[in-house]
Amino acid sequence: MAASQEELESYYGKEIILADRELVETGSKQILNNADKEDVAFLVVGDPFGATTHTDLVLRAKREAIPVEIIHNASVMNAVGACGLQLYNFGQTVSMVFFTDNWRPDSWYDKIWENRKIGLHTLVLLDIKVKEQSIENMARGRLIYEPPRYMSIAQCCEQLLEIEEKRGTKAYTPDTPAVAISRLGSSSQSFKSGTISELANYDSGEPLHSLVILGRQCHELELEYLLEFADDKEKFGKDVANDQEYFKPAAWVPPTEDDSDE
Amino acid sequence: MAASQEELESYYGKEIILADRELVETGSKQILNNADKEDVAFLVVGDPFGATTHTDLVLRAKREAIPVEIIHNASVMNAVGACGLQLYNFGQTVSMVFFTDNWRPDSWYDKIWENRKIGLHTLVLLDIKVKEQSIENMARGRLIYEPPRYMSIAQCCEQLLEIEEKRGTKAYTPDTPAVAISRLGSSSQSFKSGTISELANYDSGEPLHSLVILGRQCHELELEYLLEFADDKEKFGKDVANDQEYFKPAAWVPPTEDDSDE
């Protein structure tokens, strides 16, 4: 993941064409050009099927009767297990994009809610902006790109809290436990367990980051693992216990005489 | 995945100790013995965090202050994307064990139902029995092991249908679309799209197998991919459309005059 283009070229003994988003999304003809006659390798970070664009590329190749061989790889979708939460207890994955003044999409809120209603953890993938143009440069047709931006854990948590405050339906609360995952798979990877409001003040350091919002199905072993990453283990244990009460079915209360009179 | 112990030993230039289930589950002391003084590598098929036993091993190492480094790997949990369904639309993963006369566990039924209620796909991992003793041999303390058994797609689908018939709550039906995945990641990997009742008659060949039961959130690109693996594309397309109607919210019907009179 940390290798430079030069290092990869020297490793493979071949020239590498850097495929930016534009090339991948609109340049399938260029990528598949001659692929029926010679081998073309399309390298990705993570699992090749992490993005619909890659599925689309395979479909286009199949339509042109180009044989495709997939070599699988570790991906954040399974390496996230390194935080100690079991992979089979994760629900659907959501993406958190940078909010702007006019664009604050929150469809992920319902997905987190759905996951938590059935007790599942939610992996939140944090936005990255690489090779993006400013609106002004885009309008003027200037191919000048903004410096790359990577969402921090703190910003993600602030956006989570903003939308929860707006919706007010408690899909999660400021006290819901979560795990911040930084630089996963690199030698400097780190984890931090805390509530969403605590992590809104967490300095997560260099990118990339992801966040997992806990579900109710938190096994004893999972909790033991998460406690290793908590600043205040006792508090975090209590936060998890309190949060788990959320979506439990309500306890049965025997009717009182007043109730039966009505 | 297909390498023999000898091939691995020649590749690594080291002797390898075959860790069977018993050693992994009860022999952590043996595995961690001297690991504070010399490097011990614990090799697994798939992702290291696919099993709680591995999480437990890491926790035990941490308690003894043994540094642990994790090297992630592809796993069925993400390689399943090769069937064309997007990883972020999967819910919790379930395991299907071999039914016996007295033991027919079905807690997975509710999990599939929960996933399908919110539109998500379910990965079903199929049971394998390796180095198992018969009840008679176990009772007599004879260390004789049964030949390895791997659940087929057909048997998995029969067990799915049996429990649906018993429960009768339509978490899925015989007509629910699914994808059979065989020998994933190997050169002979194959996929078959069909309804659960169709796949109950499917000869899936050599192991290992997994099954994905579709959720309602089936994107156009996902369907296009799945159609490649269907015997009757037109029928499968209709099966998917019909199944998607299942958990949709009921359409609003304007009250009739009769209704408003009541």
CB contact under 8 A, A75 and B70: no
A49 CB neighbours in chain B (<8 A) are 78, 81-82, 84, 86-87
User: Which of A1, A58, A88 has the most B C-beta neighbours within 10 Å, making it the best mutation to test the interface with B?
Assistant: A88
In a domain, A199, yes or no: yes
CB contact under 8 A, A55 and B185: no
In a domain, B70, yes or no: no
User: Which of A25, A45, A53, A55 has the most B C-beta neighbours within 10 Å, making it the best mutation to test the interface with B?
Assistant: A55
A84 CB neighbours in chain B (<8 A) are 49, 55
Contact B227, B233 (CB under 8 A): yes
Per-residue b/e over A39-49, b at no fewer than 16 CB within 10 Å?
eeeeeeebbbb
Selecting from A55, A73, A93 the residue whose C-beta is nearest the C-beta of B88 gives A93
One domain, residues A124 and A216: yes
One domain, residues B113 and B221: yes
B208: preceding bond cis by omega (within 30 degrees) = yes
- Tell me the per-residue pLDDT of B2-37, one tens digit each, with 9 for 90 and over: 788 999 999 999 999 998 888 888 888 999 999 999
One domain, residues A113 and A135: yes
* pLDDT number for residue B251: 61
In a domain, A207, yes or no: yes
Give the domain range for residue B26. Answer: 5-63
- Tell me the per-residue pLDDT of A93-109, one tens digit each, with 9 for 90 and over: 999 999 999 999 999 99
Q: Is B226 among the annotated ligand-binding positions?
A: no
One domain, residues A183 and A226: yes
A95 CB neighbours in chain B (<8 A) are 88
CA distances in angstroms from A60 to A27, A42, A64, A65, listed in the order given: 11, 14, 6, 9
One domain, residues B185 and B55: no
Strands (E), chain B: 94-96, 122-126, 128-129, 149-150, 177-182, 190-195, 209-213
One domain, residues B120 and B180: yes
Token pair for B226 = 């799945």
One domain, residues A20 and A97: no
Q: Is A194 among the annotated ligand-binding positions?
A: no
In a domain, B251, yes or no: no
Residue B64 neighbours by CB under 8 Å, 6+ apart? B32, B35, B36
* pLDDT number for residue B240: 95
CB contact under 8 A, B70 and A82: yes
Return the CATH number at B179: 3.30.950.10
In this predicted structure, the answer to whether residue B183 has a pLDDT above a threshold of 90 is: yes
Residues of chain A with pLDDT below 70 are 1, 249-262
Taking residues B158-183, what's their average pLDDT? 96
CB contact under 8 A, B219 and A52: yes
One domain, residues A29 and A50: yes
In a domain, B93, yes or no: yes
* pLDDT number for residue B109: 97
One domain, residues B48 and B136: no
One domain, residues B47 and B85: no
One domain, residues B56 and B93: no
In this predicted structure, the answer to whether residue B252 has a pLDDT above a threshold of 70 is: no
In a domain, B52, yes or no: yes
CB contact under 8 A, A222 and B84: no
Q: Using a pLDDT cut of 90, give the percent of chain B over it.
A: 68
In a domain, B262, yes or no: no
- Tell me the per-residue pLDDT of B95-113, one tens digit each, with 9 for 90 and over: 999 999 999 999 999 999 9
> DSSP per residue over A100-157, as a string?
-SS----HHHHHHHHHHHTT-BEEEEEPEE-SPBPHHHHHTT---BPPPEE--HHHHH
In a domain, B178, yes or no: yes
CA distances in angstroms from A122 to A178, A189, B107, listed in the order given: 9, 20, 22
Strands (E), B7-145: 94-96, 122-126, 128-129
Which of the two residues, A151 and B47, has the higher pLDDT score?
A151
Token pair for B112 = 């599939």
Number of domains in chain B: 2
* pLDDT number for residue A255: 64
Taking residues B234-251, what's their average pLDDT? 85
Rounded CA-CA distance B113/B136 in Å is: 37
One domain, residues B189 and B238: yes
CB contact under 8 A, B219 and A82: no
- Tell me the per-residue pLDDT of B49-75, one tens digit each, with 9 for 90 and over: 877 888 889 999 999 999 999 899 999
